[in-house]
Amino acid sequence: MPAYLDAGDWEAAAVKWVNVHPDNPEDHDLPTVMGTVVYSDPEAAFPLALLDGTTITHKRTGAAAAVATDYLAVEDARTMGIVGAGVQSYTQLKAVAAVRPVEEVVVADRDEDAVAEFVDAFSDRFDVRGGSIDETAQCDVLSTVTPVEEPIVRSVGDHTHVNAIGADAAGKHEIADEVLRSATIVIDDYEQCTHSGEINVPWSEGVLDDDDVYAELGEIIVGERSGTAETGVTVFDSTGLAIQDVAASHVVYEYAAEHDVGERVSLVDTEPL
């Protein structure tokens, strides 16, 4: 995932080498998603740092959901449902709780141990418990973080905002078509979402088309389209953008440089041969 970002007063470039291997936890005791970021000087292309892309992926994905929640969810959202109790569920809750006054959390997962670990991790901050998918889907905010290819969320509350995070490849599909068709759909990137996001399956089948997509999230952030918090059900289709990795890596690198964090190594031999 390569990208370049010009933020006006600074610019940055990076590439993230990332995998998605669903069998990793069981077969190798490794995360499903891992990554390494090479952060470079965009003018000279000199590699400035090697960064943990796994953590950056988790945090920037949670942050993207939080930004979407801030623009699309009801202001007084106090309940959050999470489908899937893997590593991404933790940053989803932490990030969303930073923009909404979340008090009650319901998490659903087939793995009872994963649910118990999640509940234990947050029991000191929230009223958190395990529950069914139907219970999670009635919350004010719902984040789905599973790799399923058959929809598991069949209905949601009248004003639920859904962060559809799990779909990142063609064929993946967490939210039922009837929910998507009745919702205001906001995407992170047109090409990525129609190819491999939550809408990719109904899109390929002709169930959804351009008229069913309200906006890209960036259009709402910059004011080209209005937020939709009071219009009923909203769905944010998040595939994850390389520019998010670059922006997050920039923050990490600048902090590390300022506070002398990390290990200094030589990545390129600049001496003449």
Are 41 and 58 spatial neighbours (Cβ–Cβ below 8 Å)? no
Phi, psi of 151 (to 5 degrees): -55, 135
Considering the domain architecture, whether residues 88 and 205 belong to the same structural domain is answered as yes
Known catalytic residue: 94?
A: no
pTM, rounded to two decimals? 0.92
* pLDDT at residue 269, rounded to an integer: 79
195 within domain boundaries = yes
Tell me how far the alpha carbon of residue 143 is from its chain's centroid. Answer: 9
pLDDT in tens, the chain (273 residues): 999 999 999 999 999 998 888 899 999 999 888 899 999 999 999 999 999 999 999 999 999 999 999 999 999 999 999 999 999 999 999 999 999 999 999 999 999 999 999 999 999 999 999 999 999 999 999 999 999 999 999 999 999 999 999 999 999 999 999 999 999 999 999 999 999 999 999 999 999 999 999 999 999 999 999 887 667 999 999 999 999 999 999 999 999 999 999 998 887 877 766
Whether 24 and 157 share a structural domain: no
Q: Which domain holds residue 36?
A: 2-55+243-259
Kindly report the CATH number assigned to the domain that includes residue 88.
Answer: 3.40.50.720
Q: What is the pLDDT of residue 126?
A: 98
Cα–Cα distances in Å, from 139 out to 132, 159, 173?
12, 9, 20
Q: Is 99 within a domain?
A: yes
Residues 206 and 155 in one domain: yes
Question: Is residue 84 a contact partner of residue 58, using CB atoms and an 8 Å limit?
Answer: no
Report the sign of the C-alpha dihedral through residues 90, 94, 97, 103, in that order: positive
Alpha carbon 273 to chain centroid, angstroms:
45
Asked if residue 249 and residue 159 are part of one domain, the reply reads: no
Same domain, 114 and 221: yes
Q: What confidence score (pLDDT) does residue 82 get?
A: 98
Same domain, 36 and 159: no
Report d(CA 4, CA 247) in Å as an integer: 9
25, part of any domain: yes
**Active-site residue, selected from the candidate residues 16, 59, 94, 172:** 16
Residue 271 inside a domain? The answer is no
User: Residue 66, Cβ neighbours under 10 Å: how many?
Assistant: 24
What CATH code is carried by the domain that includes residue 251? 3.30.1780.10
CA dist 261 and 225 (Å) reads 40
Residue 214 counted as domain residue: yes
Three-state DSSP class for 125? coil
Based on the domain organization, do 113 and 190 belong to the same domain? yes
**Which of 51, 53, 81 minimizes the C-alpha distance to 65?**
81
Distance separating alpha carbons of residues 175 and 189, to the nearest angstrom: 18
142/232 Cα distance (integer angstroms): 14
Number of domains in the chain: 2
**Nearest-10 crossing angle of helices 112-122, 87-96:** 30
Q: What is the pLDDT of residue 273?
A: 60
